Amino acid sequence: MLQGRPERAVKVMPEPEVLNLPLRSRRFVFSDVSVEDGQRVSSGDILAKDPNNYAVPLLAPRAGLVRLKKDENAAPAAVDASRGGGHIIIDDVANLEEHADIAKEELEHIEREMGAGGIKRYKLLVLGAWQFFYDAYTGALPDPQGTPQAIIVSTVSLEPFVARGDAQLHKRLFNFTRGLEQLQSLLEYQPMYLVMPDIKSELANRIRDHIRGYAWAKMLEIPLTYPYDDFAILARRLGLRRDKGPVWAVRTEGVLAIDRALTLTKPCTVRIISIGGTGVNSPAHIKVMPGYPIDKIRDTYVSEPAARMIDGGILTGEALGQEPVGIDTECRGITVLGELQDREFLGFARPGWDRSCYAACYLSSLRKRFRERFTTGMRGEGRPCISCNFCEEVCPAGIMPHLIHKYLYRDLIEEAEQARIDLCVECGLCSFVCPSKLDLRQEFIDAKKLIEQEKEEIRQEQERQEKLRQEEAAKRSAEEKSE
């Protein structure tokens, strides 16, 4: 019972006059900009690509005039693609008919090389639907030409305040089941698992009726407890081993995007996101497009004068900067919390009265069920670990966060690896329950990155040594021959 949970109904935001498309999102950096300043673009045109992620495109959601140069009157503006920052502005926005930016010669070439299956994958990529795919274990974008061992489709979204699957499915069940059929046509014999909140519900029966005879999906019911919808946890639960090949994962909005790209050959430029949290006057789901000005959303929905806006949910989201400009291509929701600027009056006397605490030593444990109200207040400063074990009790990965924290604190990276830091799914529950307010999640994300970097450096060094050895051997054999 959280205050600020978004309603299921979807509201459509008014058409924007300007779009500010960020060149960076959680996974992508669109550094390869393909438009020029002053160029007129149509809806669906490719504006930029991410060269490190199979060239996924940033599409123009609306027709308009591109502005790349820095405009003194419109701060902060322009493109800084070299550092992966900045954004592309589209002025003079018009909602004209969209088109697919697909070169005919390219399609013919792909058909010759890879057949009809190759064309489908290519369409998913250039029409913006591939961006909705994840590697279940790493969260990265999978190779569009790869072969998965299985696909997980999830209609469940359990993190508080992010867009829910049932809101996405509202009035679009037919598109969803058609998208499932299209998804299955990409597979040969690999299984597809459809994750539902209740496999006996009316919705599940309707989906079964729709797809009967066209697609085959094994339905899987999961406990509605965060984070059992996490793709890595689902893959482990299904017994899909990481060393047996990639597991693709996609959410409801991804299946709808597949349908749009493959059935209608139209670009996927609209998203349904949530706007929720205690700083919002009427929490809802809203239909917007990437680049939609965040200040327009703030003016319409945010009631709190001092509010912190978070891109994503309350446990894994990232605070938006002081001047957030436009929605990025991967946004799933905006959470708004009241920013506590002053110390709470008599805060020490009522800790935990308006939100329940994992430790049952606060006043809230005396209350019956109540609507919790989150704020940004931490109620106290960070402290050393007190070995209460709460983090271990809640960790869905079955690891010991407090132990790993102690290893990392002493720079014992190898020990942290042996304690299986790699199994952490970055759900944030350990940080949430920690009475010492340790940001364990962020600590583990940073450590995992460091470990990956070190492994990559070792791999590159080994490759370099091997190459040197081969060159030496070749040189020696050439010398022997000449003698």
Q: Which residues bind ligand SF4 (CB under 6 A)?
A: 385-391, 394-397, 399, 401-402, 405, 424-430, 433-436, 438, 440-441, 444
Q: Which two tokens stand for residue 114?
A: 């890879």
Q: Nearest approach, Cβ of 230 to ligand SF4 (angstroms)? A: 8
**H or E element that contains 459:** helix 440-482
Q: Nearest approach, Cβ of 404 to ligand SF4 (angstroms)? A: 7
Rank residues 252 and 436 by Cβ distance to ligand SF4 and give the closer one: 436
Distances in Å between the alpha carbon of 36 and those of 47, 79, 90, 127, 310?
9, 11, 11, 21, 32
Place of tokens 């919390």: 337
Q: What residues are paired with 280 via a beta bridge? A: 302
Rank residues 172 and 402 by Cβ distance to ligand SF4 and give the closer one: 402
Rank residues 29 and 388 by Cβ distance to ligand SF4 and give the closer one: 388
CA-to-CA distance for 371 and 364, rounded, in angstroms? Answer: 11
Q: Nearest approach, Cβ of 380 to ligand SF4 (angstroms)? A: 13
Rank residues 284 and 397 by Cβ distance to ligand SF4 and give the closer one: 397
The neighbour count for residue 138, using CB atoms within 10 Å, is 14
**H or E element that contains 135:** strand 133-135
Rank residues 68 and 391 by Cβ distance to ligand SF4 and give the closer one: 391
Rank residues 292 and 390 by Cβ distance to ligand SF4 and give the closer one: 390
Place of tokens 């497009």: 289
Rank residues 74 and 385 by Cβ distance to ligand SF4 and give the closer one: 385
Rank residues 255 and 447 by Cβ distance to ligand SF4 and give the closer one: 447
Query: Dihedral of CA 68/72/74/76: which sign?
Result: positive
Residues 6+ apart with CB under 8 A from 26: 328, 330
Max Cα-Cα span within the chain: 92
Contact 337, 306 (CB under 8 A): no
Q: Nearest approach, Cβ of 378 to ligand SF4 (angstroms)? A: 13
CA-to-CA distance for 81 and 70, rounded, in angstroms? Answer: 13
Q: Nearest approach, Cβ of 436 to ligand SF4 (angstroms)? A: 4
Distances in Å between the alpha carbon of 182 and those of 26, 99, 154, 176?
27, 20, 16, 10
Q: Nearest approach, Cβ of 269 to ligand SF4 (angstroms)? A: 33
Q: Which two tokens stand for residue 223?
A: 């406990």
* φ, ψ for residue 343, nearest 5 deg: -70, 145
Rank residues 279 and 428 by Cβ distance to ligand SF4 and give the closer one: 428
Q: Which two tokens stand for residue 241?
A: 């081993």
Contact 294, 320 (CB under 8 A): yes
Rank residues 7 and 392 by Cβ distance to ligand SF4 and give the closer one: 392
Rank residues 165 and 227 by Cβ distance to ligand SF4 and give the closer one: 227
CA-to-CA distance for 82 and 76, rounded, in angstroms? Answer: 17
CA-to-CA distance for 144 and 56, rounded, in angstroms? Answer: 10
Q: Nearest approach, Cβ of 326 to ligand SF4 (angstroms)? A: 29
The neighbour count for residue 314, using CB atoms within 10 Å, is 20
Q: Nearest approach, Cβ of 370 to ligand SF4 (angstroms)? A: 24
Q: Nearest approach, Cβ of 454 to ligand SF4 (angstroms)? A: 20
Q: Nearest approach, Cβ of 47 to ligand SF4 (angstroms)? A: 35
Query: What single DSSP character describes residue 306?
Result: S
Q: Nearest approach, Cβ of 395 to ligand SF4 (angstroms)? A: 3
Q: Is 305 helix (H, G, I), strand (E, B) or coil?
A: coil
